[in-house]
Structure 1
């Protein structure tokens, strides 16, 4: 509802104006409405706080970690229980687990960000091209997508890592190769809904090339759905990376990657539970944060949900 009295508009009224005076005002208005929806979801806000905490921990790991993540005191500090000196205890090599988890947050973000940067654009490009071109192009690209979707993600990632060799970089590449098909499906579905719209027809009549139509007019319409799916997939990416590390095909010792830490602690899980329990709890919290954040973004960016 708009105010009927004359006078300067408040910032809120300006953002919620039904007749924006510029493209920037329209974008800011949509962002404001999405933020209102998101902030009203308390669980989503908790997820946002968890992810922000992860970013802060990764950025200031050198300050927050009291000990070296790779060098321990094997003689005097081996398998110590959690205490004031070692909050999460120590591992079989005398390394402080709290410090290793702090530094491990960097590797978690490293994997998540790189996979998103690689997989999301590939899926977006394949899906929009397939949806707009149609015909044999659509058939070929979607059958390739179906082949990737036919295999469980972890099994396919294991096959690629086995071929490329163990290591964190190869693990990232393998996870990215197995992560793009769902994004392609989403982008294709979005493209099919808009390719015959009056908006696209008008752009075609103006002489725009198919490449320009896909790049400038269709891809931006798919971004919001893709952001939601990528955020929801972050937990699965973390678990896949941890699984590869657990099997010895991801990050290699002495890197403080959480999956590798669980693998090294599985021998002591009955007596020294904290060695594997602490990194496992870290994976649980971060995965929960991404899932809550993704659910909130889905509700906030869904154009079909009215602003009540």
Structure 2
């Protein structure tokens, strides 16, 4: 019986990744990633979410080349046209191609999500780990501050920040970031309160490690998987908040093709020209669904318990 030339190297790589006794830290890390990928691959819904997220990234990167029309070009002679071969999702009140605007709108949505996550994740992780590790007065002060932010609905608090800062994408990102960090801090605090009593943390302390080194080198890495899961699940809420600000005219300003603003401009035509507001709304629902499905799958894979 003959085997293909690639089967032996494939078996060798699989054996390397699934070894019960890794020879190095790198091998152990690669093996862990491989097992997590296999667990994620076994979840069909998580794969669907991953495909949606990857498609969002691809569309955002290739929007200028795959969009059939200029998203900002106006043509009043073709205003409010229904979906057709020339305009797959119809045109809006100014004759702009809705499909092209949705494709370019993925860039705005992805930029808002990434900027918020980059700023919120480390802040919430740092506050949560410090609160859970030191406890006492530090925990009381930081958690009461967190409770103050949690007491207000996110969109209402974001509206208050935007009202002070003014409309615009940059201010919308700042407003969403200021309201999105408390759940991350709560998750990190809960994880830290369990980790700080572990035997290996006590051993590190006995070796003379400072509190800062213990937190940054040993506590934070253990909290990162939970924060990643929370981040993925929270992206849908960030998208909805950004769309809500855009719908109210406080996010991206015209003529930017932001999905919430597109829904706002099409709400007065919802009964007769339904496509103007429907397709941007479907885009928001699809992307939010993709992040939620991927987040559920990552939670099952990364949860140590």
TM-score category, normalised to shorter length: over 0.9
Helix, strand or coil for the counterpart of 1:95?
A: coil
Q: CA deviation at 1:64?
A: 0.7
Question: Structure 1: which 4+ aligned runs deviate by more than 6 Å?
Answer: none
**Aligned partners of 1:12 and 1:149: how far apart in 2?**
46
Query: Which stretches in structure 2 are left out of the alignment for 5+ residues?
Result: 1-8
Q: Which residue of 1 aligns with 2:82?
A: 81
Q: Does 1:175 align with 2:176?
A: yes
Query: Which stretches in structure 1 are left out of the alignment for 5+ residues?
Result: 1-7
Helix, strand or coil for the counterpart of 1:292?
A: helix
Q: What CA deviation, in whole Å up to 9, does each residue of 1:171-203 have, x standing for no partner? A: 111111111000000000110001111111111
Q: Which residue of 1 aligns with 2:72?
A: 70
Q: Which residue of 1 aligns with 2:6?
A: none
**Aligned partners of 1:164 and 1:234: how far apart in 2?**
23
**Aligned partners of 2:148 and 2:136: how far apart in 1?**
19
1:62-211 alignment runs, 5 A limit: 62-74=64-76, 76-211=77-212
**Aligned partners of 2:50 and 2:256: how far apart in 1?**
27
Alignment match of 1:60 (pick from 53, 59, 62): 62
Q: Does 1:18 align with 2:25?
A: no
Helix, strand or coil for the counterpart of 1:20?
A: coil
TM-score, with structure 1 as normaliser: 0.94
**Aligned partners of 2:177 and 2:56: how far apart in 1?**
22
Helix, strand or coil for the counterpart of 1:10?
A: helix
TM-score, with structure 2 as normaliser: 0.95
**Aligned partners of 2:44 and 2:197: how far apart in 1?**
39
